[in-house]
């Protein structure tokens, strides 16, 4: 699998994966990305020119996808519309990219017999009660609650069907919430960090009791590479690093790390249908494939992330004003 094609590789999680692969393997990488607002070529700066190339294009473009699949040994599919707030405002792009785009890629994988790994989310499982001791496992029934998570659930089912019906050599991973470098400032953690760095108050949905199972993007990347190399075709693996924190605690930790009072934030209107809690049981990935996270301490991983945003204002500043204007119009 020396020649990898990464869809959505200019986005947050995809770009971190590209950096990780090029730093830790001898593979070559091609990124296919449409460069919507969430894609940023600056996230791919500094990569070795002899092992990396970028192709601008849409995963729904069957002719382009076919040509690229013919040149590569394996495909890692990150490309997706992924922001819940955007899916509530306008669901259609989520259907186009997450469903039709994934179908287009699967047909090319079927034609070229290409190894295919599909990146999904724990949000396909719905949510858990705040006081529920359970976690999501590979056997948890799907129960998506938003246009985003429902289209990701649909794309997962397409992958499973193409494996069973057509013998496509695919695996799936469902991961918990990522944090780390190169994440768009519309997302929860970078929004709060960049607000504080700008001297503005962070914003907390509702009471901030919603719990997410945070994982550093580097740990997600190492897990995906492990599944690509060792995973059993047709199987699903859950990726998590035991990083459960509620949103209120995360905001307060960001403020304190940046030398601000822990209560220096504002409550804003909650997201409609806001899932209560996500929690991942990654036992199978660890026991069967031997994977372990590097950033098992959320506080240290968050400190590294804060330092990255402090040192890379030129990367995030162009996104910030437009993003905050959009949130302000929504009362958030």
Given 33, 58, 81, 123, the catalytic residue: 123
Catalytic residue among 122, 127, 186, 213: 122
The Cα–Cα gap between 100 and 59 comes to: 9
Please, which residues have CB within 8 angstroms of residue 214's CB and are 6 or more apart in sequence?
176, 177, 178, 179, 189, 241, 243, 244, 245, 250, 298, 301
Please check whether residue 8 is in contact with residue 77, taking contact to mean a CB–CB distance below 8 angstroms: yes
How far, CA to CA in Å, does 276 sit from each of 1, 128, 244, 273, 330?
Answer: 39, 6, 12, 9, 21
148 in active site? yes
How many Cβ atoms from other residues are within 10 Å of residue 299's Cβ?
Answer: 11
Count each helix (H run) and each strand (E run) in the chain, helices first.
Answer: 12, 13
Q: Which of 20, 78, 103, 148 is catalytic?
A: 148
122 part of the active site: yes
Rounded Cα–Cα distance for residues 19 and 24 (Å): 9
Is 327 designated active site?
no
Known catalytic residues are: 122-123, 148
């Amino acid at each position: 699998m020396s020649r990898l094609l990464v869809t959505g590789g200019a986005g947050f999680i995809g770009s971190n994966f590209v950096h990780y692969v090029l730093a830790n393997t001898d593979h070559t990488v091609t990124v296919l990305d449409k460069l919507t607002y969430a894609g940023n070529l600056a996230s791919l700066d500094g990569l070795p020119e002899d092992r990396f190339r970028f192709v601008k294009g849409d995963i729904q473009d069957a002719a382009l996808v076919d040509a690229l699949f013919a040149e590569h040994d394996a495909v890692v599919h990150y490309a997706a519309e992924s922001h819940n707030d955007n899916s509530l405002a306008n669901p259609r792009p989520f259907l186009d990219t997450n469903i039709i785009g994934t179908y287009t890629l699967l047909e090319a994988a079927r034609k070229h017999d290409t190894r295919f790994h599909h990146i999904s989310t724990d949000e396909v499982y719905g949510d858990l009660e705040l006081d529920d001791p359970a976690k999501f496992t590979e056997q948890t029934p799907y129960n998506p609650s938003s246009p985003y998570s429902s289209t990701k659930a649909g794309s997962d089912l397409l992958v499973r069907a193409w494996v069973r019906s057509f013998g496509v050599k695919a695996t799936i991973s469902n991961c918990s919430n990522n944090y780390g470098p190169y994440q768009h400032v519309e997302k929860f953690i970078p929004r709060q960090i960049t607000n504080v760095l700008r001297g503005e108050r962070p914003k907390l949905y509702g009471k901030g009791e919603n719990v997410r199972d945070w994982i550093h993007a580097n740990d997600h990347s190492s897990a995906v590479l492990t599944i690509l190399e060792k995973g059993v075709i047709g199987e699903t693996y859950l990726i998590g690093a035991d990083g459960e924190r509620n949103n209120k605690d995360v905001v307060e930790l960001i403020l304190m790390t940046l030398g601000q009072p822990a209560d220096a934030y504002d409550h804003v209107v909650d997201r409609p249908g806001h899932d209560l809690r996500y929690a991942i049981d990654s036992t199978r990935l660890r026991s069967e494939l031997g994977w372990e996270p590097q950033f098992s301490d959320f506080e240290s991983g968050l400190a590294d992330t804060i330092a990255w945003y402090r040192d890379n204002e030129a990367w995030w500043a162009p996104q910030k004003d437009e993003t905050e204007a959009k949130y302000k119009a929504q009362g958030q």
